[in-house]
Amino acid sequence: MGAIIEVKGLRKEFQIAKRKEGAFGAVRSLFSREFTTKLAVNNVSFSIQPGELVGYIGPNGAGKSTTIKMLTGILVPSGGEVRVRSLVPYEKRVENARQIGVVFGQRTQLWWDLPAIESFELLQHIYKVPPEKYARNMARFKELLGLDEFIQTPVRQLSLGQRMRADLAAALLHDPEILYLDEPTIGLDVVAKEKIREFIKEINRERGVTVILTTHDMQDIEKICERMILIDKGTVIYDGPVAQIKERFGKQRTLVVDLEPNGFGDDLAVEGAETVKREGNRFWLRFNRDVISASQLIARVSERFAIRDLTVEEPEIEGIISRIYQEGL
């Protein structure tokens, strides 16, 4: 099966007006304007297969949202090619809109003063969703997202978590093949985030929806995506499995051990590990899993100290990505 999204050598430049200095700088700028060029996306290429869950991540200003806007047809590229199911998005905006769903965490496609149910009904008519499909989708979304608890409430009165659940339902009412998610869990509490993540995975399993996710929450990437595209300064610096990044940069684990309150000093001084933190009787021991296994380290600690409790912490991908930015690939 061919790629559902194909991007080749994509570029986007923005012309930014330079403000003239001095008391009358703004007035002079009206008659004589100078511009600088900002390269937001530079020679980005990737292809995405149907049904993939892809994390598209990078620091602020890396070019993530600019890329998504070109994929949706909102922005016209300065160079390169982009095709979504063989369509050029900015040339066929209406046709492209019918095959995609979009959720921007900071914005809503719902009508602010209307109850959520009326927004859904309006979107049904906008997308020309047949009544039986609409009823089937709404029943499923109510089940997965718990919409009934707020569906009659005006959107402006919804909590952020409720609005995000409603926005996800709205984006998928017309059964799009592709779902673009831009910071879908931003500002949500832990419970709300988990509900959103589970819904995304279930829709992907159930309907084969292709998902492209941009986020600053690395837990989203770990729990949802199998593939990650890492972009920095407008250029792709990694495209591959999330597990491969964790394997390559996530060899440092931490043994958190609670000891009985006697017989130890400030540093456990266990061979093969480094004490990186201590709080009372609890110690954090960092170790390289290629040098020593967790079971070996636990055995060495237990030979010398009385252990009350312990756990092994896996490296979080947020720390791994930070290392990549600092040290490079």
Higher pLDDT, 327 or 207: 207
Q: Do residues 50 and 135 both lie within one domain?
A: yes
Residue 55, beta-bridge partner list: 213, 228
Could you read off the pLDDT of 261-272 as tens digits, one per residue? 766 665 578 888
Q: Do residues 58 and 137 both lie within one domain?
A: yes
Residue 22 confidence (pLDDT): 60
Which percentage of the chain shows pLDDT scores above 90? Answer: 57
Query: Where a domain ends, among 205, 222, 247?
Result: 247
Greatest mean pLDDT among 31-40, 103-112, 120-129, 271-280 lies in 120-129
CATH of the domain at 213: 3.40.50.300
Q: Do residues 159 and 286 both lie within one domain?
A: no
**pLDDT at position 256 over 70:** yes
Query: Where a domain ends, among 247, 275, 292?
Result: 247
Q: Do residues 254 and 243 both lie within one domain?
A: no
Q: Do residues 214 and 278 both lie within one domain?
A: no
Q: Grade residue 151 by pLDDT with cuts at 50, 70 and 90.
A: very high
Q: What's the mean pLDDT in 162-176?
A: 95
Number of structural domains (the chain) is 2
What average pLDDT is seen over the chain? Answer: 88
Q: Do residues 59 and 173 both lie within one domain?
A: yes
Amino acid at 173: L
Q: Grade residue 45 by pLDDT with cuts at 50, 70 and 90.
A: very high
Q: Do residues 151 and 289 both lie within one domain?
A: no
Q: Do residues 272 and 242 both lie within one domain?
A: no
Q: Grade residue 32 by pLDDT with cuts at 50, 70 and 90.
A: low
**pLDDT at position 211 over 60:** yes
Q: Do residues 285 and 158 both lie within one domain?
A: no
Q: Do residues 184 and 48 both lie within one domain?
A: yes
| Boundaries of domain holding 317 | 250-327
Q: Do residues 83 and 107 both lie within one domain?
A: yes
Residue 26 confidence (pLDDT): 60
Rg for the chain, CA atoms, rounded:
25
Query: Where a domain ends, among 247, 269, 294?
Result: 247
pTM comes to: 0.81
CATH of the domain at 295: 3.30.70
Q: Do residues 236 and 307 both lie within one domain?
A: no
